[in-house]
């Protein structure tokens, strides 16, 4: 917005907006900075409660302890496995179906879309789902987390809406040139759909990585914990337990270990955040505003 | 009749010609049938005496036995009440925040600063509930940062995380911390869509900044606000099951046990499958009714939501 005239009111509103913006900035930032500082503060500083939003008595022993602890590594790798394979499966299946559903003029496509969308509004619920999974003998396997991710109706609609905006003349000209439907898909449609494919990839990856609910229900074997489940155990334990964990060179407080574990499990999210920003906001627009 | 068959044959021919397209739907349809429609088949155990030692179809029908038991149990109504209360608090306190953040960002005059605030308030949306729980445990526990301040100011510590008196407030606040910025996106988009000439004309006419917010920005995004509000109210029964499962503890069950957590503890925990499926079916049917009503209403404000 261009504002050339600066009245007194403009200055008041501008500075008020900046001030409230700053409050939001701090409200969001301080909690995270606090945990970050705790992860890198010495245990004496933690006991004395000297840690605010900058590390006190900087040390990296806690984070090294977390990153080398077998339980953390295992649950981290479990989450990586589920996230990577679930996302791959989901993107392929969802993108294929979303493209097909964008051909609205073909017979029965609208009816099929309704069959998909209905499941957004009505579902069997937790217990029948759990019983189905045990019947299929998927409980206590990572398949219980990966396979249901194959179809996300929300992502499906994103792809469908996006593909509807691709001019059909592009595909028709490819057909005239003798390319089959499959080839048209790979040479014309997919390259044009990178933004929406990136969007659903990130959506799926974030939701699989952050999922606590499904692993908690379907994975009961403690050797198969995913990261979020392991992390919650640490957080709950740290609240009641204040005894020191002694390792070779350093004494660790459960509080510090908790903070370092939180930081270590958030790093993947923060690393891809620039991409998340770029694509997800576009993606949510495609979803919210009918294209 | 004849023309009906002809029409069907013609459709069939078109479909066969485009069979590759239909083939692309196959994996998704299989996944949908197994993991979405499969559990719906299992809903019948709400009307049967199901036990894990026999098949669903071998379990005797008991009609509405479990629903009668449900509607006679005080714990069900406590849970239903908690669900509606927590959800309503979240709508009342958090929904307007999304609109507020969007309006605020629009008034920040420096582009870089505006982008910084915007980027920052989106971040927590991408944290898991467990991480959010961990962050707020660090802040709110008896030795946490907030209690350090309270200790300095008042000389007392305050119990936030296992105190029935304020646990709902903790739930609402943390949900706001995580999602308010993200919820503003759709309003930010709506504001970006407003014709700038209207603002310029109003400015020439001498309308003040506040006047412009109240008389131009807000009315322009009102359809979006109404649409989002109706959709949110349609999801009244979703009080945040995952959040509560992560954050609650036995001390605060009374004020924070919602339908989703109740089903989990009864179904997966105590293995009362038929009873908990009945609760789930109740939740699904009422939720479906609300969502459908919400969508029907929202069509009055906007053509379609998808």
For residues A143-175, one letter each, b for 16 or more C-beta atoms within 10 angstroms of the residue's C-beta and e for the rest, the string is bbbbbbbbbbbebbbbbbbbbbeeeeeebeebe
B54 and B75 assigned to the same domain: no
Judge contact between B189 and B165, C-beta under 8 A.
Answer: no
Min Cα separation A122/chain B (Å): 6
Per-residue pLDDT, B86: 97
What is the predicted pLDDT for the residue at B304? 45
Answer yes or no: is B256 within a domain: yes
Does B201 share its domain with B88? yes
- Same domain (yes/no): B116, B162: yes
CATH number for the domain spanning B150: value is 1.10.3720.10
Domain of residue B185 covers 68-301
pLDDT of amino acid B301? 66
Assigned domain for B282 exists = yes
Q: Do B52 and B73 belong to one domain?
A: no
Q: Kindly give, in sequence order, each residue whose CB lies less than 8 Å from that of residue A119, ignoring residues fewer than 6 positions away.
A: A153, B32, B36, B37
Q: Cα dist. A31→A11, A56, B145, B184 in Å?
A: 31, 16, 9, 21
Q: B22-72: per-residue pLDDT in tens?
A: 999 999 999 999 999 999 999 999 999 998 888 888 889 999 999 999 999
**Chain-chain contact of B28 with A25 (C-beta, under 8 angstroms):** no
Is B102 a domain residue? yes
Q: Do both B73 and B52 map to the same domain?
A: no
What end-to-end distance do the CA atoms of chain B give, in Å? 34
- B207: exposed, middle or buried (Cβ count in 10 Å: 0-12, 13-18, 19+): middle
Same domain, B93 and B75: yes
Chains A and B: how many Cβ contacts under 8 Å?
277
Is B63 part of any domain?
Answer: no
B276, A127: Cβ pair inside 8 Å? yes
CA gap B243, B133 in Å, rounded? 8
d(CA B118, CA B109): 13
CA angle A243, A244, A250 (to 5 degrees): 175
Whether B213 contacts A16, CB under 8 Å? no
The pLDDT, as a whole number, for residue A290 is 43
- Do B142 and B16 reside in the same domain of the chain? no
Is B46 among the domain residues?
yes
Residue finishing a domain among B26, B58, B90: B58
Q: Would you call B42 and A52 a contact, using CB atoms and an 8 Å cutoff?
A: no
Q: What is the pTM of this model?
A: 0.92
Give Cβ neighbours of residue B65 (< 8 Å, ≥ 6 apart): B49
Domains in chain A: ranges and CATH:
1-59 (no CATH), 60-291 (1.10.3720.10)
**In this structure, are B124 and B247 located in the same domain?**
yes
**pLDDT on residue A189:** 87
Query: Looking at residue B217, what is its pLDDT?
Result: 93
Chain centre distance of CA A100: 26
Whether residues B134 and B262 fall in one domain = yes
| B236/B293 same-domain check | yes
What is the per-residue pLDDT for A252? 81
Report how far apart, in Å, the C-alpha atoms of B70 and of each of A78, B46, B80, B274 are. Answer: 39, 11, 11, 11
Q: Give the C-alpha separation, B99 to A71, whole Å.
A: 43
What's residue A40's pLDDT? 95
As a whole number, mean pLDDT of residues B128-132 equals 97
Chain B: closest CA distance from residue A11 (Å): 10
Helix (H, G, I), strand (E, B) or coil at A235: helix
Q: Do residues B41 and B81 both lie within one domain?
A: no
- Average pLDDT over chain B reads 91
d(CA A32, CA A36): 6
How many folded domains does chain B comprise?
2
Tens-digit pLDDT profile for residues B293-304: 988 887 776 654
Model confidence at B290, in pLDDT bands (50, 70, 90)?
A: very high
Q: What is the mean pLDDT of residues B260-275?
A: 94
Per-residue pLDDT for chain A (291 aa), expressed as one digit of tens each? 455 567 888 889 999 999 999 999 999 999 999 999 999 999 888 888 888 889 999 999 999 999 999 999 999 999 999 999 999 999 999 999 999 999 999 999 999 999 999 999 999 999 999 999 999 999 999 999 999 999 999 999 999 998 988 888 888 888 788 777 778 878 888 888 888 898 899 989 999 999 999 999 999 999 999 999 999 999 998 877 666 666 655 678 888 999 999 999 999 988 988 887 777 766 666 655 443
Q: How many CA atoms lie within 13 A of B14 on its CB side?
A: 12
How many angstroms separate the CA of residue B142 from the nearest CA in chain A? 9
Residues in chain B: 306
Are B52 and B150 in a shared domain?
no
As a whole number, mean pLDDT of residues B105-118 equals 94
Residue B85 forms part of a structural domain: yes
Q: CA separation (Å) from A273 to A231, A276, B117?
A: 21, 5, 15
Closest-CA residue of B relative to A256 is B138
Flag whether B15 is in a domain. yes
């Amino acid at each position: 917005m261009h504002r050339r005239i600066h009245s007194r009111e403009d200055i008041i509103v501008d500075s008020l907006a900046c001030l409230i913006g700053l409050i939001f900035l701090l409200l969001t930032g301080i909690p995270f900075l606090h945990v970050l500082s705790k992860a890198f503060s010495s245990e004496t500083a933690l006991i004395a409660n000297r840690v605010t939003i900058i590390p006190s008595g900087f040390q990296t022993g806690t984070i090294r302890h977390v990153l080398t602890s077998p339980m953390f590594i295992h649950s981290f790798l479990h989450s990586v496995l589920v996230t990577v394979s679930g996302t791959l499966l989901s993107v392929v299946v969802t993108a294929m179906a979303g493209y097909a559903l964008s051909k609205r003029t073909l017979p029965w496509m609208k009816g099929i879309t309704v069959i998909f969308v209905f499941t957004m509004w009505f579902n069997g619920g937790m217990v029948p789902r759990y019983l189905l999974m045990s019947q299929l003998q998927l409980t206590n396997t990572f398949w219980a987390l990966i396979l249901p991710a194959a179809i996300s109706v929300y992502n499906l609609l994103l792809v469908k809406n996006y593909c509807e905006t691709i001019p059909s003349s592009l595909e028709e000209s490819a057909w005239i040139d003798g390319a089959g439907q499959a080839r048209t898909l790979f040479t014309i449609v997919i390259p044009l759909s990178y933004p929406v494919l990136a969007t659903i990839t990130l959506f799926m990856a974030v939701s699989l990585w952050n999922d606590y609910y499904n692993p908690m229900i379907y994975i009961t074997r403690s050797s198969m914990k995913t990261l979020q489940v392991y992390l919650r155990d640490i957080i709950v334990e740290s609240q009641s337990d204040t005894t020191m964990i002694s390792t070779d060179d350093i004494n660790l407080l459960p509080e510090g270990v908790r903070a370092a574990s939180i930081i270590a499990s958030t790093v993947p999210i923060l690393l891809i955040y620039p991409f998340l920003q770029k694509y997800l906001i576009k993606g949510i627009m495609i979803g919210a505003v009918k294209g | 009749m004849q023309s009906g068959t002809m029409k069907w044959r013609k459709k069939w021919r078109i479909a066969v010609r485009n069979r590759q397209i239909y083939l692309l739907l196959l994996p998704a349809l299989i996944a949908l049938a197994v993991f979405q429609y499969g559990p719906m088949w299992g809903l019948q155990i709400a009307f049967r005496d199901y036990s894990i030692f026999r098949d669903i179809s071998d379990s005797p029908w008991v009609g509405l036995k479990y629903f009668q038991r449900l509607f006679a149990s005080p714990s069900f109504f406590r849970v239903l009440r908690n669900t509606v209360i927590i959800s309503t608090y979240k709508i009342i306190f958090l929904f307007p925040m999304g609109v507020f953040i969007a309006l605020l960002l629009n008034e920040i005059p420096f582009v870089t600063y505006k982008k910084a605030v915007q980027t920052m308030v989106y971040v927590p949306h991408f944290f898991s509930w467990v991480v959010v729980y961990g962050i707020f445990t660090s802040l709110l526990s008896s030795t946490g940062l907030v209690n350090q301040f309270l200790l300095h100011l008042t000389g007392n510590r305050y119990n936030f995380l296992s105190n029935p008196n304020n646990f709902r407030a903790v739930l609402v606040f943390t949900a706001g911390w995580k999602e308010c910025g993200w919820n503003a996106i759709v309003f930010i988009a709506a504001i970006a869509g407003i014709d700038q000439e209207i603002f310029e004309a109003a400015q020439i006419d001498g309308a003040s900044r506040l006047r412009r917010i109240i008389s131009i920005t807000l009315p322009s995004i009102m359809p979006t606000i109404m649409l989002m509000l109706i959709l949110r109210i349609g999801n009244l029964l979703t009080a945040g099951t995952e959040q509560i499962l992560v954050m609650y503890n036995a001390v605060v069950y009374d004020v924070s046990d919602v339908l989703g957590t109740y089903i989990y503890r009864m179904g997966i925990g105590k293995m009362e499958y038929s009873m908990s499926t009945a609760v789930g079916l109740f939740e699904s049917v009422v939720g479906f009714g609300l969502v459908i009503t919400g969508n029907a209403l929202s069509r009055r404000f906007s053509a379609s939501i998808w």
